[in-house]
Amino acid sequence: MSKVDSSAVAVAVTRIVPEGRWGWRRGRVLASLAVAVAGLLVFHSAVPDMAGRPGSLLETFLPWLGLTVPVLLVLAMVRRSAVALLALLLPVAAWVSGFGGLLLPAEDSAYDLTVVQHNVSDENADPAGTARALMKASPGLIALEELTAGAVAVYSATLAPEYPHHRVVGTVGLWSKYPLDGARPVDIRPDGIVGAWKRGLRAEVRVPGEKAAVAVYVTHLPSVRLGVGAGFSSGWRDESAVLLGSAIAAEPLDRVILLGDLNSTVDDRGLDPVGAHMNTAGPGFAFSWPASFPVARIDQVMTRKATVTEVWSLPATGSDHLPIAARIGW
């Protein structure tokens, strides 16, 4: 390399990484970006859900905003910007405040019931293998969605030795080690959907050690769509969430367990009508979708007058979702 070329490279490097001390005047744009990220993490509900539903889209993937911190950190160090480094403390604090608790190991506390929730996929080529995989977690209850008529018989036959009690409504079902009573459909169909569409089930479970029955809801809310032109389309999902929330609010039994593919994370405001009446899960991200590279937990275990002490993802089955297991304490 010639001396001229070496000089040119040195000048270019100097422009990218300024020599000398760290400066307080450099990197103001990076500092502004750090403040903006912190603002989105803390005040995400202030982002309007106008056309394209940007607010719901942001909240669906909210934890992933934390990935901007290492990127901004590298840029701040390249710029030798003291103000940008200082500003980065804001998104770090906001992320830890919102999601740091999910990284803590679950307390080794007593629990009363283990449950499994799984969207098994209507294209699952191995329902028997999926059923056997779910039983390995030794749950007392197994909730399944996207059941087909042919697959129901396979799941029932495979689960029957350990789960003799089951109810199926449309494409959702509940298998239990304990007796089930009062099983009925739950109407969560949005107005725009016609035809045979049954995705809600409610049953009463007599759990050993509990004097009163526990109401268990198994649901599958409508899917959302993400497109370049339409943005985040969640109208039907949101409408169905309102109906589900109303059903839970009217539930006469004190203890309630909700198991289902809600096509929503607990941070998404679209799930607020349900979350207003239920407690969310304890420590653990337990991402469930897509199974090939999980980025969000849209399969939920929620409770009323009970606590989800731990939630975790199970190994992949023949579905595009990962199964979710949870421990519940009264």
**Which segments of the chain have a pLDDT < 70?**
1-20, 106-108, 226-232
- The reported pTM is 0.85
DSSP string, 183-219: EEE-----TT--SS---EEEEEE--TT-SS-EEEEEE
Assess contact for 216 and 259: CB atoms under 8 A.
yes
> For position 227, what pLDDT does the model report?
56
Strands, E assignment, the chain:
113-119, 141-145, 165-169, 172-176, 180-185, 200-205, 214-220, 225-227, 231-233, 256-261, 299-304, 307-313, 324-329
Closest to 313 in 3D by CA, of 166, 172, 116: 116
Backbone dihedral angles phi then psi of residue 311, each to the nearest 5 degrees: -140, 140
d(Cα 188, Cα 239) in Å, to the nearest integer? 8
**Beta strand pairing call for 324-329 and 113-119:** antiparallel
Closest to 244 in 3D by CA, of 221, 223, 224: 221
Give the number of residues written for the chain.
330
Give me the helices (H) in 162-321, please.
235-249, 272-275
Strands, E assignment, 120-179:
141-145, 165-169, 172-176
> For position 67, what pLDDT does the model report?
94
> For position 174, what pLDDT does the model report?
98
> For position 119, what pLDDT does the model report?
98
Q: What is the pLDDT of residues 41-76, one digit of tens each?
A: 999 988 887 777 788 888 888 999 999 999 999 999
d(Cα 49, Cα 97) in Å, to the nearest integer? 24
Distances, alpha carbon 34 to alpha carbons 31, 198, 263, 278, in Å:
5, 46, 30, 33
